[in-house]
Chains A and B, each alone.
Chain A
Amino acid sequence: MSPGARRFVLVGNPACRRVLLFQDALSRLGLPPPVRVSWLELVTGRANLSQVVQCGDVVRVESPGRDWAVEQALLRLGADAQEDPPYDRLSAREAAALAFERGRIHVPRQWYLGFRHALERLREQLAQCPPHIPMSDPGEIAVMFDKGACHERLQKAGVRVPETLGSPGSFAELRERMVLARCPRVFVKLAHGSSASGVVAYQSNGDRHQAATTTEVVRIHSELRLYNSRRVRVLTGPAEIAELVDALCRHRVHVERWLPKAGLDGHCFDLRVLSIQGTPRHGVARLSRSPMTNLHLLNGRAAMERVRERMRPGAWEAVLDTCRRTAAAFPRSLHAGIDLLIGPDFRRHAVGEVNAFGDLLPGIFHQGRDTYTAQIEAILQLT
């Protein structure tokens, strides 16, 4: 089969921007539109990849995000999973009855369990398919969506990551761990949140407390509700910080030492690097005037080149090596979106997160190719 005739099967949410951008890239390369399988149909059991994927197909899995029906279906799928310790959950019936509310954080641990279940189902279906070419791996996506598991995998692979304080069950437990680890500044993140969802940059010297967050806590009678906002709030009252952190802990958090970041153009920044086929390619510095650099696409950017210029050749080579090592920890994923933290001295670096769907980088090119074109070309060369 010639590469031009190669068929792509795309699992995603049909109207999603990522899907459209990928289709555009196929079309620019003169390739036919992909066969699309929606997450909703997969999660609800109405579609089965084993009936779709044909011999020699390239199979790509896109983000299930930004679609309320899929969100709800994943929550229902996660409703039956039992685990210890128990995190906040909803019954399948309660999940089905939820109404969409912008920014609302429902039960992210349950969402993850549902997503992991759906990925497992995907893996089983793909195992029954004739020989095909996967662009990603359900099992590796599941690891990347679990910040604790991802951290552990990277550490084992010898990748420098911020020291973790694990998954405390409450603010009081977090405080104990911080004192024990002599760690006055931490990032508390939902173990299964994307972007800055449910992230708190918290610091305390014992007397004073300060927490920067985009998460809003709304109390309705006895119920606490969490919402994502785009506004960074700074809390200084220990009681309100405890309320927020306690609420997040009920959905499982992953806590890491807050490593100070380097600055550029009067902002701090992190570096998003997209590795494709194990090699770092696209990259961009994301600028911020809050501890959260991954807030949203509205934050300022700077070219990755600017960061490279500030680092000594050896230090930059070490960054690239870390990217390669990170990618190698996920050998069955064609691409990985790596968030790199660079120290204020522009010498040290660490990996903050790895994103399974970290390739939505509009306007960022590597050797003249956008992130989607580069991936398509890479997979076609493999075949």
Chain B
Amino acid sequence: MAIYEYGARFAGKAVIDWDPETGIPDTEAAIYRISLSWDDSENGERWTDRFSKFLADPASSRVTGIVVGNWGGMGDESSQPVVEALVAARERLPELNAIFLGEILAEECEISWITQTDVSPLFEAYPGLEYFRVRGGNSLRIGTLHHDRLRELGVETGGLSRDVVHGIFSSRLPTLEHLELWLGTDEYGADTTVEDLAPLLSGTLFPRLRYLGLRDSEIADEVAAVLAHAPVLEQVRVLDLSLGTLGDAGAAALLASPATRKLGKLDLHHHFCSDETVAALQGLGMEVDVSDRQEPRSWGDGDHRFVAVGE
């Protein structure tokens, strides 16, 4: 499986594909996705050219969010020029509080083929940034952040490097409410272990954390086991372990934890749990998403569980 559709909303607003012909009709309820289309790719137009045209519209100064879509290159061109262009435009985008860097569909470029870059300059350039998402883990560097406004941080990858995880867990993000890390599989570079999650567990790292997503993970059972008895579970309202390989072992740990019952929502969709476990989870009382149950695939040396978004 892979990602085949764009999100309809980001940062609480509708996302509209920016089209030079229709311009920027709404900056209150909408933000804009800037992507290279078929024609642009064939004509050799660059994302930064398109972004310049976007900035040339005076209404762009009131835009609060930008979704960076396909920037072309399909894997051999990193997002560095995109990041540089966004940084250079900081004074022209005074209202900008949301960036999604790389909302790219599998049909455009699979997640493991997206080449990212050091995105930390964006946080320096935009002190008002509240929502930041990035898709693609190759060459991604986030560093150690010190940011006073960031509320949502989402890192979607098919394989997340522990260096990125360490950086985020060494960051000072006092307003962070939503942390979402797609850990992925070792086949595509995932090397985070549950030991790396240690700084998160105490529940003091991000004092305002309400949503914790450790998604698309092939170590979902182990992650569930360490979270089940960690103070952070009492801190958050939503625990999201969806898209991964969670099975009965991880679910049993969650079921045995009193903190689980205090959650507002438990999202486990795309999982490998048995019928009995699914029934027990559904009996927890709060909102539980146990949809999209998967069956292990067997070949060679035994059964294999796959995350939802890998290649």
Contacts and interface: CB of A to CB of B under 8 A. Distances in A.
B37 interface: yes
Given A266-B4, A345-B17, A347-B19, A182 B44 contact: yes
A210 B111 CA distance: 13
Contact of B107 (A205, A208, A268, A347): A268
A289 B19 CA distance: 28
A350 B107 contact: no
A358 interface: no
Which secondary structure characterizes the binding site on chain A? loop
Contacts of A266: 1, 4-5
B2 interface: yes
Given A344-B105, A350-B38, A263 B5 contact: yes
Interface in B243-300: none
B146 to A, nearest CB: 35
A163 B42 CA distance: 8
A268 B1 CA distance: 11
B19 to A, nearest CB: 7
Contact of B311 (A207, A234, A343, A348): A234
A291 B19 contact: no
Interface string B86-117: 00000000000000000001111010010000
B74 interface: yes
B74 A184 contact: yes
Interface string A185-227: 1000000000000000001011110100000000000000000
Interface residues of B, number: 25
A18 B19 CA distance: 44
Given A203-B113, A268-B106, A208 B75 contact: yes
Interface residues on A, range: 20 to 34
B281 to A, nearest CB: 23
A374 interface: no
B35 interface: yes
Contacts of B105: 260, 263, 268, 344
A207 B42 CA distance: 21
Given A184-B74, A350-B38, 13 more contacts: A184-B76, A206-B76, A210-B311, A257-B42, A259-B38, A260-B38, A260-B107, A260-B108, A263-B4, A266-B4, A289-B2, A291-B107, A344-B108
28 contacts: A182-B44, A184-B73, A184-B75, A184-B76, A185-B74, A203-B75, A205-B73, A205-B74, A208-B75, A234-B311, A260-B70, A260-B108, A263-B6, A264-B5, A266-B1, A266-B4, A268-B105, A268-B107, A289-B4, A291-B107, A343-B38, A344-B6, A344-B70, A345-B17, A347-B17, A347-B19, A348-B37, A350-B38
